A and B are shown apart, each in its own frame.
Chain A
Amino acid sequence: RKEVEQDPGPFNVPEGATVAFNCTYSNSASQSFFWYRQDCRKEPKLLMSVYSSGNEDGRFTAQLNRASQYISLLIRDSKLSDSATYLCVVNGYHGSSNTGKLIFGQGTTLQVKP
């Protein structure tokens, strides 16, 4: 079982739609959570960090539920340019030590259609 699990999709949505991605992680010691976006054959780009209180950046809202070890990303008013793979990412821990490494989910593919 992967340490970070995501539904790979693809999610095919029309422009203007609201879409939500979910992710679960297995290490309850994890403290840092992120969503990255990756376009085909390009580098992952940090979309947003996910804080305990939840956070919003324009059309993007991220939520964290530590009790359920669950992270979500909501995209409102989808644009064609939002088409990409969205990677749920968790900081790796060894015991109580934050090792700094990132552990990636397998990614969720979003395709926004006109």
Chain B
Amino acid sequence: AAGVIQSPRHLIKEKRETATLKCYPIPRHDTVYWYQQGPGQDPQFLISFYEKMQSDKGSIPDRFSAQQFSDYHSELNMSSLELGDSALYFCASSFWTSGGSYNEQFFGPGTRLTVL
């Protein structure tokens, strides 16, 4: 079965540079979520999109922005990178059912971002 695709898998950037992470959800999934996982930490929710509209926002810095496109893929844009942005960035997708309960989310393999 098709899974969530993320690219690139690894990314090395210098401080103050920009980065763009891409996510292709499972076919027919309409909701995309972005999570950040720092070393030794649990994943933290950043932002989500349903039917190309932002549906929720978490602890996402103002330097980051994201969008979902007409083909449902999503991009996370990160500017003015800082050392503390080094982390694993996961994208997850789900099909938003009526009532919203038990929207099981399936995660991509992640992008490992290293900021030097």
> CA A114 – CA B55 in complex, angstroms?
46
Contact B56 A99 (CB under 8 A): yes
B contact set with A: CB distance below 8 Å:
31, 33, 35, 41-45, 48, 50, 55-56, 58, 88, 90, 92, 94, 96, 99-110, 112
Contact A101 B107 (CB under 8 A): no
Q: How many A-B residue pairs have CB under 8 A?
A: 65
User: Is A98 located at the chain interface by the 8 A CB criterion?
Assistant: yes
Q: Which of A87-108 contact B (CB under 8 A)?
A: 87, 91-92, 94, 98-107
Contact A43 B108 (CB under 8 A): yes
Q: Which of B43, B55, B100 contacts A102 (CB 8 A)?
A: B43
Q: Which of B50, B90, B110, B112 contacts A100 (CB 8 A)?
A: B50
For the complex of A and B, list the 3 residue pairs with the smallest distance between their C-beta atoms, beginning with the closest.
A104-B42, A43-B107, A98-B100
